[in-house]
A and B are shown apart, each in its own frame.
Chain A
Amino acid sequence: MDTIFALATAQDRAGVAVVRVSGPAAHSVGMQMCGTLPKVGSFAVRPVSSDGDLIDRGLVLTFAAPHSFTGEDVIELHLHGSIAIIDRVLDTLSAFDGVRLAEPGEFTRRALENGKMDLAQVEGLADLIDAETEFQRAQAMQTVEGALSKVVEDWRARLINAASLLEVTIDFADEDVPVDVAPEVSALLESVMSQASDEISRSYVSERVRTGFEVAIVGLPNAGKSTLLNALAGRDAAITSEFAGTTRDVIEVRMDLDGLPVTFLDTAGLRESDDQVETIGIERAIARAKTADLRVFLSENVSDLPLDPLPQDIVVAPKADLRTDGTGVSGVTGAGLNALVQEVKAVFADRATHSGLTSRARHRTSLQSAVTAMKDASRLVNQGPEVYDLAAEELRTAIRSLEFLVGRIDVENLLDEIFSSFCLGK
């Protein structure tokens, strides 16, 4: 078996750089580079050398299988974050026999294969590393900790319990067995179904937390939408001019609103236009505004616009700097800007409280097919023992869907999909 290594921190100048080595040769390689290793489960400062040539002095951590991230023998070298030091250490490592640079995601793959994590946890880890905001971090962490897997395993256990009740009446019909299992089976199905359905609706919110909420800024041409976007971004993201119809394409600015990932969209002003390019821009603006999670109408009178605000949408008067009543928002002076941001944040913070344990379409699809099968099973169970064979079949389908979710079966393609989203060394 190969021993693998990689830089675990970002590839740039930094205070500290961590190089991780995992596999059967990890300890012997460590001893050849550092003289002696700290005892297992501890750390100490050691010289790191190549053929007697001192490269750096760093903190060395020793882990022994199976008590490590990958479940193998592991050492970690915490070095000074210099590009030259890192290059030299990686070169030295690759010169050992049976030691090579890790492939993308290989550390995590080994952790998975050695039973240190399940699939859902691995996906959570990918999200955790990609997390930019506090809400994203908290959500991903929950998955890494196995919250989803735990819930799904619990559902699975209940469904297996329900299936076994049905099977008893089928396979032991000739013996002394409980006759009416329908109430117990139905109760088990109901409990799992309602929780799974709830999880499905929450997953849409979670998906938003993971990918970001979208806010479309809409209004008439020259209402100051681009100016507002630039003020929100704190930079010139969109071109502004006194000419109406300057913005043609949709411009996005991604922000962290107290831990919530929010993308503001600047769109073309909505009006009748003879300009072919502007007309395309307007169509695009309307389409994006409709699919966005929230719309900010920068408008005195929304009936001027070819789009109606939905219940939580925000309507605010444009160009507060030119007004005297103290209302509205201005990208030029910043008036009303903070109030607008607070309002947007309040809407999403409320929605985010309904987030669930999963944020992935793959999970949702599995849950959905499990729920569909459970509904069918439930209906059949109520029809009576004559169709228990069919009910049992639906239950098997439901159980298989849940197993697919946590990656117990049919995982070949899934693995490729998951591991392709990893960069080296994570």
Chain B
Amino acid sequence: MKHFDVLVIGGGHAGAEAAHAAARMGARTALVTMTLSGIGVMSCNPAIGGLGKGHLVREIDAMDGVMGKVADKAGIQFRLLNRRKGPAVQGPRAQADRAIYQREMLAATQAQDNLTIVEGEVVDLKMSGQKVTGVELADGTLLHSTTVVLTTGTFLRGIIHIGEEKHSGGRMGDKASVKLAERIDSFGLPLGRLKTGTPPRLDTRTINWSVLEEQQGDDEPAFFSFETTKLAAKQVACGITHTNERTHEIISKNLARSAMYGGHIDGTGPRYCPSIEDKVVRFADKTSHQVFLEPESLTGHTVYPNGISTSLPVDVQEDYIHSIVGLETAKILQPGYAIEYDYIDPRALDASLQLRATTHLFLAGQINGTTGYEEAAAQGLVAGINAACLAQGREPVQFSRANSYIGVMIDDLTTRGVTEPYRMFTSRAEFRLSLRADNADQRLTPTAMDLGMVSVQRRALFDSKRDALEVGYQALSREAYTPKHISRAGIAVKEDGTRRTPYQLLAFPDVQFKDVVRVQPDLSAIDRPIQIQLARDALYANYIDRQQKDIDRIKKDEAHVIPTGFTYAGISGLSNELSAKLESARPDNLAQAARVEGMTPAALALLLAKLRQHQKKSA
């Protein structure tokens, strides 16, 4: 009988990243997927990255993960969003060729050491008390594993709606596993219901591209992986069109036939990614909405019209599509649909994404109430690493709000829970200025190296970059120049007698690296990518110093660990409401407790006092 350290159920973005992470850690890993073709499928829009999301991909890559590398190979249009805003809020994004992405992800998965791909349907979990010990497949095969990572997306009571039609299932074409769902129900976990929608897919050959506005990618592409240096796939443009009053009229008239508006769906949808029905109803004064026409692949004919997801019946979808400029004769290859599904309240998980009540079982991805490939993959990474740690008897690895977007997300999920599908935004990260996409490697690769999960070439790349940054920083800080000297070099500074180093000059928003080279010519010897990063560090240096105080305070609070069995009920002075909230959130430490909704400073002080008492007693 086979025995694994880590067994991952599901080959989506969470599952793939989890399996790869565990395998890189040296754990004997199995990835169980219904079919090989299910690995690396992009079931929604054919794009990776974006604001906040691009940060997540960079962070995954900093841990030597797979998503960034595969996305770079599959990228058919790269754009750095917010290019004209500060570097901290710029996010890399790419249109990805669906077929290449799938092919490359499968290839990478097959090539990964310590990783076995098992084709089969998991129908049940094997248990020993409150501990998961393996899985049972549909053909009766038993697979033993020390830990199991469940990444099954929307399979829990997933229902697909197209107008009044509905059928159960995960995504289009996926089978729903009833027995596994019943097993999960038996754990008595808190559940919630969410919904999400997709647009109808169109045939590129039936779109009148000649009348449409074009959107090109960047001339100088920003890649996801720190290892990627050049484009792999041919680059293409996207088209832009708009809905119009006629489109909106068709939708308004047929609202009652929409699954979302006809009362067929109870789940909560995301506010930031509304269906076209939502847009027409909620923003009734807008007579037009933008639609991006994104090619799904260089080889196929499918186009993803981004911005018009729907759950209207097929005939209405055809009518409104044909009312849009350029799409008058467009053929729908696959109608848009809405899916509603159960998610498990992520407050039932600890910061390693392990269930508190059922041990050795980790959850990652959409099942935790998130949306997006990047959010799923990042959770997969965390779950995979920690499942491997548990199996190998190592301490769990915690990502913190102060070191990564991954940490922000895990903390948000496990302490606050979700009320709508959770998506990453840069504004969720209070330490945004230090958590940049460009320095993800500086923040996380050392941890990955300590865990022994990076390749030899990655380590070499990182070491040389770190050295170059240090040498560059020293060169920039070595000498301070008089205002006179600086002015002569063409930089306007106050004649206040203060000497400034080139590094300090770079903190002025309008000073660029080429300007300080005139102040100190030997700086031109620094490599351009290193110049860019040093300039960014310098730009934010003052703010980062200030934020460091907050970060230190968080670290101090994080050091106050709340023991697993800690009871909140009966703490003198803690309101019943708050103790109930803490009881369900089960924060791991004081910093997390502070972020529990409704937490007051006084209650926090009280908790701290109790923890100290507790420590004294147990000491």
In the bound assembly, the distance between CA atoms of A141 and B345 in angstroms comes to: 45
Would you give the 0/1 interface string for B93-106, flagging 1 where the beta carbon is closer than 8 Å to chain A? 10000000000000
In the bound assembly, the distance between CA atoms of A366 and B405 in angstroms comes to: 29
Task: List residues of A (104-121) whose CB comes within 8 Å of B's CBs.
Answer: 109-110, 112-115, 119
Whether the pair A389, B573 counts as a contact (CB closer than 8 A) is no
Which of A173, A389, A390 is in CB contact (< 8 Å) with B81? A173
Contacts of A174 in B (CB 8 A): 50-51, 81, 93
Identify the stretch in A164-172, A259-267, A304-312 within 8 Å (CB) of chain B at 4 or more residues.
A164-172
A113 and B602 in contact (CB under 8 A), knowing A1-B572, A170-B51, A393-B433?
A: yes
Interface size class of B (residues with CB under 8 A): 35 or more
A167 and B427 in contact (CB under 8 A), knowing A113-B575, A114-B573?
A: yes
Contacts of B432 in A (CB 8 A): 389, 392-393
Q: Which of B427, B553, B573, B604 has the most CB of A within 10 A?
A: B573
A171 and B425 in contact (CB under 8 A), knowing A386-B86, A411-B605, A415-B605?
A: yes
Chain A residue at smallest Cβ distance from B86: A389
Whether the pair A409, B427 counts as a contact (CB closer than 8 A) is no
In the bound assembly, the distance between CA atoms of A386 and B82 in angstroms comes to: 9
Whether the pair B509, A387 counts as a contact (CB closer than 8 A) is yes
In the bound assembly, the distance between CA atoms of A392 and B604 in angstroms comes to: 27
B289 at the interface (CB under 8 A from A): yes
Contacts of A408 in B (CB 8 A): 600-601
Whole-angstrom distance between the Cβ of B190 and the nearest chain A Cβ: 25
Contacts of A386 in B (CB 8 A): 84-86, 509
A383 at the interface (CB under 8 A from B): yes
Contacts of B546 in A (CB 8 A): 397
Whether the pair B601, A410 counts as a contact (CB closer than 8 A) is yes
Contacts of B433 in A (CB 8 A): 389-390, 393
Interface size class of A (residues with CB under 8 A): 35 or more
B187 at the interface (CB under 8 A from A): no
Whether the pair A385, B85 counts as a contact (CB closer than 8 A) is yes
In the bound assembly, the distance between CA atoms of A409 and B85 in angstroms comes to: 31
Whether the pair A389, B89 counts as a contact (CB closer than 8 A) is yes
In the bound assembly, the distance between CA atoms of A1 and B509 in angstroms comes to: 56
Contacts of A115 in B (CB 8 A): 575, 600
Which of A112, A176, A397, A414 is in CB contact (< 8 Å) with B290? A176
Q: Which of A112, A172, A174 has the most CB of B within 10 A?
A: A174
In the bound assembly, the distance between CA atoms of A380 and B197 in angstroms comes to: 39
Whether the pair A1, B573 counts as a contact (CB closer than 8 A) is yes
Contacts of B88 in A (CB 8 A): 389
Would you give the 0/1 interface string for A372-386, flagging 1 where the beta carbon is closer than 8 Å to chain B? 000000000001011
Whole-angstrom distance between the Cβ of B304 and the nearest chain A Cβ: 15
Whole-angstrom distance between the Cβ of A419 and the nearest chain B Cβ: 10
Which of B50, B85, B603 is in CB contact (< 8 Å) with A113? B603
Whether the pair A170, B601 counts as a contact (CB closer than 8 A) is no
Whether the pair B608, A412 counts as a contact (CB closer than 8 A) is yes
Contacts of A388 in B (CB 8 A): 85-86, 89
In the bound assembly, the distance between CA atoms of A109 and B604 in angstroms comes to: 13
A396 at the interface (CB under 8 A from B): yes
Whether the pair A170, B426 counts as a contact (CB closer than 8 A) is yes
B180 at the interface (CB under 8 A from A): no
B606 at the interface (CB under 8 A from A): yes
A171 and B601 in contact (CB under 8 A), knowing A109-B573, A389-B86?
A: no
In the bound assembly, the distance between CA atoms of A174 and B52 in angstroms comes to: 12
Would you give the 0/1 interface string for B19-40, flagging 1 where the beta carbon is closer than 8 Å to chain A? 0000000000000000000000
In the bound assembly, the distance between CA atoms of A396 and B52 in angstroms comes to: 18
A119 and B601 in contact (CB under 8 A), knowing A109-B573, A397-B546?
A: yes
Whole-angstrom distance between the Cβ of B286 and the nearest chain A Cβ: 8
Task: List residues of A (227-275) whose CB comes within 8 Å of B's CBs.
Answer: none
Additional 20 contacts, C-beta under 8 A, given A114-B573, A411-B602: A1-B572, A113-B574, A113-B603, A113-B606, A119-B601, A167-B425, A170-B426, A171-B51, A174-B93, A388-B89, A389-B88, A389-B432, A390-B86, A390-B433, A396-B430, A397-B546, A409-B601, A411-B605, A414-B601, A415-B605
B residues in contact (CB < 8 Å) with A = 50-52, 81-82, 84-86, 88-89, 93, 272, 289-290, 425-427, 430, 432-433, 509, 543, 546, 553, 570-575, 594, 600-606, 608
28 residue pairs of the A-B complex, CB under 8 angstroms, read A1-B573, A2-B572, A71-B575, A109-B602, A113-B575, A113-B602, A114-B575, A167-B425, A167-B427, A170-B426, A171-B51, A171-B426, A173-B51, A173-B81, A173-B85, A174-B51, A174-B81, A174-B93, A386-B85, A386-B509, A387-B509, A389-B432, A390-B433, A407-B601, A407-B602, A408-B601, A409-B601, A414-B601
A residues in contact (CB < 8 Å) with B = 1-2, 71, 109-110, 112-115, 119, 167, 170-176, 383, 385-390, 392-393, 396-397, 407-412, 414-415
